[in-house]
Structure 1
């Protein structure tokens, strides 16, 4: 759960877009090059799970796997806050949530 301001900070997934006109992975739009070596043409700051230092949740101290986040998914959902900045997104007063 992230707010609208933090939506652009969220990382992208590794899967390709579904084909449609204007998608990033088509040759016509310039997003996909033919016969390129992805290892050489990729960004220098690639994601590596072995060298990345993961943050801990501010509330429950569990490991967070989203870079830039301060709260884990469970704590953010329970409190109705943004996982990155902690801004209140949802009013959870009348929700029936478990204590686990």
Structure 2
């Protein structure tokens, strides 16, 4: 549950590059080294200990934000900025 302003800030999905259009996964043009370990050569690797946590339940978040998706849905707020999106007073939500 993300507001319209924060939709632009969402991270992109990891998909392979298009073939031979400046792709890093081709061997032509010096794009990829032979026998290269991709996990070690990446500069911006994902670190599980450096992630942010939800304000309410302290669960680790996979993207930048303040709330996890379940807490944001229960409160009716944006998961990234915390802005109130909908009023949840009339909803009957379970605690499960």
Shared fold by TM > 0.5? yes
Normalised by the size of structure 1, how large is the TM-score?
Answer: 0.66
Query: What is the alpha-carbon distance in structure 1 between the residues aligned to residue 2 and residue 66 of structure 2?
Result: 11
Structure 1 pair 2–70 and aligned structure 2 pair: CA distance change class (3 A): same
5+ residue gaps, structure 1: 17-24
How many Å separate the matches in 1 of 2:49 and 2:68? 17
Are residues 45 and 92 of structure 1, via their aligned partners in 2, closer, same or farther at CA, if it must alter by over 3 Å?
farther
Could you tell me how far apart the structure 2 residues matched to 1:98 and 1:65 are? Answer: 24
TM-score (norm 2): 0.68
1:15 equivalent in alignment to 2:11: no
Unmatched runs of 5 consecutive residues or more in structure 2:
37-41
More helix by proportion, 1 or 2?
2
Number of aligned positions between the proteins: 84
What stretches of structure 1 move > 2 A for 4+ residues in a row? 32-39, 49-52
